[in-house]
Structure 1
């Protein structure tokens, strides 16, 4: 399949495919005698997986470390569950950190508002 066909089928841009190829995220395409890239149709599933994983917050480095298989499920359920559990853990920690930061900001805002109100009433 040509790059445009693969891009359309996977819902990505051709430049993204070229980028993934340069970065080693996807295998290099075969080149025809005309110099055009010729991709295997099973690349569609991999590109969709990469997009889904990035949408869930996985970096390309994390995605590249995954063992990709052939067939309907390109990542084993065991590997996927382990990765998702680790991502869930890190996101839970980020949420806790953000909530703590929010509470500290709100406390500082309240203190500054009280100081401002006291200064304004002293005038």
Structure 2
């Protein structure tokens, strides 16, 4: 399949496919006699997997480290569950960090608001 056909079927841009290829995330395409890239239809599933994984917060490095297998299931269920569990722990830690940051911001805002009101009273 040509790059445009693969891109449309997978719901990604042609530039993204070329980027993934340069980064080694997907295997390089075979080249026809005319020099055009010729991708296997099975690449559609892999591209959709990559897009889904990125949507869940996985980096390209993390995706590239996954042991891929052929067919409709790019990753075994056991491996996928382990990867998702680790990513969930990362997200939980990020949420806790963000909540702590939010509390510190709100405390500083309250302190500054109190200072502003105190200065306004003194100025009267």
Which position in structure 2 is the counterpart of 1:4? 4
TM-score (norm 2): 0.97
Which position in structure 1 is the counterpart of 2:60? 60
Q: Write the distance in 1 (CA, Å) between the matches of 2:22 and 2:112.
A: 52
Deviations 1:100-121 (A, max 9, x none): 1100110111011111101101
State the shift of 1:67 in Å: 0.9
Deviations 1:52-111 (A, max 9, x none): 000111000000001111112111001111110000001100100110110011011101
Root mean square deviation of aligned Cα: 0.6
Q: Write the distance in 2 (CA, Å) between the matches of 1:6 and 1:31.
A: 15
Aligned length: 123
Unaligned runs of 5+ in 1: none
Q: Write the distance in 1 (CA, Å) between the matches of 2:59 and 2:72.
A: 23
Which position in structure 1 is the counterpart of 2:43? 43
**What does 1:4-43 correspond to in 2, within 5 Å?**
4-43=4-43
Greater than 6 Å deviation, 4+ residue runs: none
